[in-house]
């Protein structure tokens, strides 16, 4: 059921499902309360585990149902705002549907009302960095007034950073909103038939299959980012991969006008193809002099995507490349966090997929000591283990997947061992490290089990790397 576009929230009953320990439901709760809605927030976690988020909404007078759900909150309400990670199979969603209650999400509430041009970025790997790079270029271009048409202000949000609902009244039609969009968020954007003005797809490789069930379902949700675009107005920027070409053919047939980005040697390029595919001088962009302060060939590919978006939004190519040269790595994404005794430490805790770990392993030409492992999402980790055996001096394996990874690395001819936790793994690597080595945390797995999320894992790694305990 398509949720209604509500303009008057006064006395509307709204249930927010999922507050989250890191504030996932805080933004939408504050926005709804400010608009006059009668809000009930429900979460399976107890109040003590949600203390920080509870404190952020303590002044609102909303009803809290923590430590478990009550089915009545899902039946006796006018709207259910569901956390993106809640699966469709939830019995509480079934109760809401049976009672005729419309279901929506925070991101849907935002995009339905956003007056600005939107850039949406998704993919199995690279979306956070491309989002940050794009936001960086466009923010500085807005400040310098070098885009045509002129950009008044740039807002970055979605799956990265804070909720943008609370700043919605400040967003203008002359602005640009840059949204990182996860497969969970895109799963329900189809309810409001929305796609952004500029849709960026980095790649689509198996991920979150424990939630989506099949790769086909996962890919279909990712492709919602462009499913409802207007071909006469909107822009697609896509990684130039055979897999994406096949997926596009299945969705749209012969897609023309897509900016396909990648590398020509080491040079970031983007080519806009017509039908039949013809590379024309005025449709090919390249940035041979680009200088980046972040490591890895993949980051030059990420740069090509961000620069193609900037071009589509009217930022001169030379200006965009110069602005991107000042970009710094995002926290927990191949971020250099310490250099001690000649050893350099990189935190890539956001690497929660095999593909992202493989990318990290190919980003260095120095000897590597590696930390792998974590929660088992059902991904095939053999390619990571085989690459680690070739490229790493030693792999310290942790978490639920640790034993299997250590065994696979050893079988592939590498050196590996299982450790009970991250501090033990770090101690083992520091004992082996010599000047010139790189110690890399790129787990290829989610952090759940030992950590609340990848941020907590990365912060502990950083403290240990800096000798802070």
Q: Please name each of the domains of the chain with its CATH number.
A: 13-104 (3.40.50.720), 109-324 (3.40.1190.10), 335-465 (3.90.190.20)
**What pLDDT is attached to residue 462?**
98
* Beta-strand runs (E) in 164-314: 176-180, 198-201, 235-239, 259-264, 267-272, 284-286
Stretch 374-379: mean pLDDT: 91
Residue 409: which pLDDT band, with cuts at 50, 70 and 90? very high
**What pLDDT is attached to residue 283?**
85
Contact (CB, 8 A) for 419 and 425 = yes
Residue 7 has pLDDT above 50, yes or no: yes
Stretch 72-99: mean pLDDT: 95
Residue 145 has pLDDT above 60, yes or no: yes
Contact (CB, 8 A) for 303 and 268 = yes
What whole-number percentage of the chain has pLDDT above 90? 75
Contact (CB, 8 A) for 233 and 198 = no
Annotate 67-89 with three-state secondary structure.
CCCCCHHHHCCCEEEECCCCCCC
pLDDT mean across residues, the chain: 91
Q: What is the pLDDT of residues 342-366, one digit of tens each?
A: 999 999 999 998 988 999 999 998 9
- Cα separation, 340 vs 161, whole angstroms: 30
Q: For residue 421, what is the DSSP state?
A: S
Which of 68-72, 90-94, 158-162, 250-254 has the least mean pLDDT? 250-254
Residue 277: which pLDDT band, with cuts at 50, 70 and 90? very low
- Cα separation, 302 vs 261, whole angstroms: 9
Which of 217-231, 235-249, 387-401, 406-420 has the least mean pLDDT? 235-249
**What pLDDT is attached to residue 252?**
54
Contact (CB, 8 A) for 454 and 426 = no
Which of 1-5, 39-43, 225-229, 424-428 has the least mean pLDDT? 1-5
Residue 385: which pLDDT band, with cuts at 50, 70 and 90? very high
């Amino acid at each position: 059921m398509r949720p209604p576009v509500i303009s008057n929230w006064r006395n509307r009953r709204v249930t927010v499902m999922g507050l989250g320990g890191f504030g996932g439901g805080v933004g939408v709760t504050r926005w709804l309360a400010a608009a006059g809605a009668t809000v009930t927030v429900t979460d399976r976690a107890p109040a003590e585990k949600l203390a920080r988020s509870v404190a952020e909404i303590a002044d609102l007078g909303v009803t809290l149902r923590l430590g478990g759900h009550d089915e009545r909150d899902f039946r006796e309400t006018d709207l259910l705002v569901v956390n993106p990670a809640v699966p469709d199979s939830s019995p509480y969603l079934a109760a809401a549907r049976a009672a005729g209650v419309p279901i929506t999400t925070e991101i849907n509430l935002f995009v339905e009302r956003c007056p600005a041009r939107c850039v949406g970025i998704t993919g199995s790997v690279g979306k956070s960095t491309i989002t940050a790079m794009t936001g960086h270029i466009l923010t500085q271009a807005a400040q310098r007034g070098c885009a045509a048409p002129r950009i008044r202000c740039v807002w970055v949000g979605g799956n990265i950073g804070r909720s943008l609902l609370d700043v919605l009244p400040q967003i203008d039609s002359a602005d640009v909103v840059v949204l990182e969009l996860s497969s969970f968020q895109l799963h329900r954007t189809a309810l409001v038939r929305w796609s952004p003005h500029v849709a960026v797809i980095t790649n689509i490789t198996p991920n979150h299959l424990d939630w989506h069930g099949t790769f086909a379902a996962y890919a279909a949700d990712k492709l919602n980012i462009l499913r409802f675009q207007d071909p006469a107005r909107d822009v697609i920027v896509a990684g130039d991969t055979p897999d994406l070409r096949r997926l596009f053919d299945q969705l749209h047939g012969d897609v023309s006008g897509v900016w396909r980005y990648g590398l020509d040697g080491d040079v970031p390029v983007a080519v806009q193809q017509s039908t039949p595919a013809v590379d024309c001088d005025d449709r090919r962009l390249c940035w041979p002099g680009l200088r980046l302060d972040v490591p890895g060939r993949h980051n030059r590919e990420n740069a090509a995507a961000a620069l193609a978006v900037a071009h589509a939004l009217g930022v001169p190519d030379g200006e965009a490349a110069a602005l991107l040269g000042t970009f710094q790595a995002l926290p927990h994404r191949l971020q250099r966090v310490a250099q001690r005794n000649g050893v350099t430490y990189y935190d890539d805790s956001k690497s929660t997929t095999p593909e992202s770990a493989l990318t990290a392993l190919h980003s260095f030409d120095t000897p590597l000591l590696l930390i792998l492992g974590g929660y088992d999402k059902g991904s095939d980790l053999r390619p990571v283990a085989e690459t680690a055996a070739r490229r790493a001096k030693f792999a310290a394996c942790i978490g639920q997947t640790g034993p299997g990874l250590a065994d696979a690395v050893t079988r592939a001819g590498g050196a590996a061992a299982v450790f009970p936790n991250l501090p033990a793994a770090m101690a083992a690597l520091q004992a082996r490290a010599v000047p010139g080595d790189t110690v890399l945390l790129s787990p290829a797995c989610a952090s759940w089990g030992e950590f609340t999320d990848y941020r907590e894992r990365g912060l502990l790694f950083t403290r240990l790397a800096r000798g802070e305990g």
